[in-house]
Amino acid sequence: MENKEVLLHVEHLCQYFGPTKAVDDVSFDVYKGEVFGLVGESGCGKTTTGRSIIRIYDITSGSVYFKGHRICAGTLSYKEAIKAARKELRGGNVTPERKAELEKIIADNKIEIQKANIDQKNADKEYGKQRAAEVQKEYDELIASAPDEQEKERLRNEAKQRVKAAKRSKIVTQIQMIFQDPIASLNPRMTVKEIIGEGLVIQGYTDKEYIENKVYEMLDVVGLVPEHAGRYPHEFSGGQRQRIGIARSIIMNPEMIIADEPISALDVSIRAQVINLLNDLREKMGLTIMFIAHDLSVVKYFSDRIGVMYYGKLVELADSDELFRHPLHPYTNSLLSAIPIPDPATEKTRVRITYNPLEEHDYTVNQPSLREILPGHFVYCNDEEEKRYREKVANE
Ligand SMILES: Nc1ncnc2c1ncn2[C@@H]1O[C@H](COP(=O)(O)OP(=O)(O)O)[C@@H](O)[C@H]1O
Ligand SMILES: [Mg+2]
């Protein structure tokens, strides 16, 4: 794991809607090329996590880094630190040393707020610069090894255009989101060709022939045919619509896809086809996928690592195999017990475990946090639970 490249780094992410803490202090990494499964029951904050990452919200607190680049930055934690320091100062009774300390805390956090605002505002510009530099570097190498001056000149011209486009690239085009309900996310008045090509048009491409060729290429990639291009979304089945949604995403040549319950609304019989398609794309395009689901049965076979969410919190995170070998958090065990067993005899005796947080945990004295029980295996627990979990994995 250590030598894997971190593509997405989510750090203390909080997204609050008034009193609703939809996502509350969630941290995880997604490695380049992997499928990261995010699982939890309806309403636990999975979609909000995805939407925060693609910058639909100005997040409440925390940071998101994409390729080392801070693309989301919230300020609430800094504001709270300032508030607490001011309160202590107002309370009087502080030594001169403590006063200096508190003043430094206030000054430092003010700087963090400024930095967060700047990062949030400049994310696309900075990202564009980075992309442009990467493209330029690629071409510098090509030009250096080109056989003659004529070829060098051709490459220089091509580089100029591509670097210009790269400067305009936005982070949201690099992370594409696919949604559960393809019909709600496809404009009914647009043809399939227009829907799939729209992203390129928005990005500033004007060459109609280029766009059309790209659209046909994408139709082929997702298993549709050229005849489909002129039709409208309602003429397609659910599975085909999801393919259109996928084509619309990958035409932007993203590095990462966030697939938000992409098969939940589909017939059981065609779910595997969509999963297989995503798997193919992952291999062909070197895609990284964050796959959101409300139960473990789907992500089990498809994900390299799995994060389990409960009520805005990430409660467990591990390699898929490890999670199934040593499920530690009681909520994970409850999710596991909900997976039907293919063998009818065993399925009859399957017992569903319900998770009742008030019964399971006593957090009155000692507070929980996300702790690493085995390398790469994290559980949200307190001291007593951590001890118990460590004993459990040691004895198995
Ligand atoms: N735009 C919003 N405004 C207010 N509350 C929201 C909004 N989006 C989501 N929520 C609330 O945040 C919580 C998490 O929702 P969501 O992320 O959609 O969960 P999931 O995708 O896991 O089903 C829910 O309580 C939901 O009602
Ligand atoms: Mg959702």
* Closest C-alpha to ligand 1, atom 26: 43
Confidence of residue 63 (pLDDT cuts 50, 70, 90): very high
Per residue in 213-257, pLDDT (tens digit) is 999 999 999 999 999 999 999 999 989 999 999 999 999 889 999
pLDDT the model gives residue 148: 95
What's the DSSP call for residue 134?
A: H
Tokens standing for residue 311 = 């009520």
363 lines ligand 1 (CB under 6 A): no
pLDDT for the residue 219: 97
For ion ligand 2, residues whose CB falls within 5 Å: 47
pLDDT digits (tens, 9 = 90+) for 42-56: 999 999 999 999 999
Domains and CATH numbers, the chain: 6-124+173-394 (3.40.50.300)
pLDDT at position 6 is: 97
Q: Are 282 and 247 in contact (CB under 8 A)?
A: no
The pLDDT-based confidence of 157 (bands split at 50, 70, 90) is confident
Distances (CA, A) of 4 to 8, 32, 280: 12, 7, 21
Mean pLDDT computed over every residue of the chain: 92
* Among 24, 41, 48, residue to substitute to test ligand 1 (most atoms within 8 Å of Cβ): 48
- Using one digit for the tens of pLDDT, what is the confidence trace for 340-375? 888 888 888 888 899 999 999 999 999 999 999 999
The predicted pLDDT at position 277 comes to 94
Ligand 2 centroid to Cα of residue 40, in Å, is 9
What average pLDDT does this structure show over 96-117? 96
pTM for this predicted structure: 0.90
Q: pLDDT exceeding 70 applies to what percent of the chain?
A: 99
CB of 193 within 6 A of ligand 1: the answer is no
User: Is the distance from the beta carbon of residue 75 to the nearest atom of ligand 1 less than 6 Å?
Assistant: no
% of the chain with per-residue pLDDT over 90? 73
**pLDDT of 251-293, one tens digit each?**
988 999 999 999 988 888 889 999 999 999 999 999 999 999 9
State yes or no: pLDDT of 2 exceeds 60: no
22 pocket-lining for ligand 1 (C-beta < 6 Å): yes
Summarised one tens digit per residue, pLDDT across range 11-62 is: 999 999 999 999 999 999 999 999 999 999 999 999 999 999 999 999 999 9
Give yes or no for residue 47 CB within 6 A of ligand 1: yes
For a mutational test of ligand 1's pocket, the pick from 20, 23, 44, i.e. the residue with the most ligand atoms closer than 8 A to its C-beta, is 20
Q: What is the largest CA-CA distance in the chain?
A: 78
Question: From ligand 1's centre to the CA of 229, what distance in Å?
Answer: 35
User: Which-ligand-closest: CA of 51?
Assistant: 1
pLDDT digits (tens, 9 = 90+) for 184-200: 788 999 999 999 999 88
Structure-derived torsion over alpha carbons of residues 262, 268, 272, 273, reported in degrees to the nearest 10: -80
pLDDT digits (tens, 9 = 90+) for 294-348: 989 888 888 999 999 999 999 999 999 999 999 999 999 999 998 888 888 888 8
pLDDT at 133 over 90: yes
Confirm if 22 and 48 have CB atoms less than 8 A apart.
Answer: yes
CA of 100 to the centre of ligand 2 (A): 46
* Structure confidence at residue 351 (pLDDT): 86
CB atoms within 10 A of CB 323: 27
